[in-house]
Amino acid sequence: MVKVRGLVVSTAFLAACVVGSPAAHAAAACEWVTTGLPVPAGVVFYGVYAASDSGEWVLGHGENASYEKGTFVWRNGMPTGEFIPQLGTVGDVNDSGVLLSNVGDAGYRIENGVRERLEPAPGTSWSWGEHINNAGDVAGMSGLRGPLLVWPAGSTTPRELPNTRNGPDRVVKGIDDDGNVVAMEYGPPEKWSSHVWDRDGNRTTLKPLAVDHRAEVGFIRNGRIFGRSAPHDGQQPGTVVEWGLDGEIVRTFPEFSRPVDANASGHVLGQVSGENEHNAVWREPGQLDTPPGVNGSVLADNGDVYGAARKDGVLVPRHARCG
Tell me, yes or no, whether 315 lies in a domain: no
What's the whole-number mean pLDDT along residues 141-150?
Answer: 88
- CATH classification at residue 134: 2.40.10.500
Pairing of strands 295-299, 305-311: antiparallel
Query: Quick one: pLDDT at residue 22?
Result: 32
Geometric angle at alpha carbon 198, from 223 and 152, rounded to 5°? 100
Query: Quick one: pLDDT at residue 29?
Result: 62
pLDDT tens by residue, 35-50: 999 998 889 999 999 9
DSSP letter, residue 239: E
Query: Quick one: pLDDT at residue 90?
Result: 65
pTM comes to 0.88
Query: Quick one: pLDDT at residue 191?
Result: 79
Range of the domain at 158: 90-164
Q: How confident is the model at residue 74 (pLDDT cuts 50, 70, 90)?
A: very high
Average pLDDT, the chain: 87
DSSP letter, residue 80: E
What value does the CA radius of gyration of the chain take, rounded to a whole number of Å?
Answer: 19
- CA torsion 92-94-97-100 (nearest 10°) is -30
Query: Quick one: pLDDT at residue 1?
Result: 22
pLDDT above 90 (res 178): yes
Query: Quick one: pLDDT at residue 6?
Result: 38
CB-side neighbour CA atoms (13 Å) of 130: 23
**What does residue 12 show for φ and ψ, rounded to 5 degrees?**
-65, -40
Tell me, yes or no, whether 187 lies in a domain: no
Between residues 201 and 10, the one the model is more confident about:
201
pLDDT tens by residue, 209-232: 999 999 999 999 999 999 999 987
What's the whole-number mean pLDDT along residues 77-90?
Answer: 82
- Residue 39's nearest CA partner among 31, 47, 30 is 47
Q: How confident is the model at residue 276 (pLDDT cuts 50, 70, 90)?
A: confident
Tell me, yes or no, whether 308 lies in a domain: no
pLDDT tens by residue, 251-274: 999 999 999 999 999 999 999 987
Tell me, yes or no, whether 218 lies in a domain: no
Tell me, yes or no, whether 192 lies in a domain: no
Tell me, yes or no, whether 144 lies in a domain: yes
Tell me, yes or no, whether 101 lies in a domain: yes
Q: How confident is the model at residue 21 (pLDDT cuts 50, 70, 90)?
A: very low
Tell me, yes or no, whether 123 lies in a domain: yes
Q: How confident is the model at residue 287 (pLDDT cuts 50, 70, 90)?
A: confident
Question: In the chain, how many domains are there?
Answer: 1
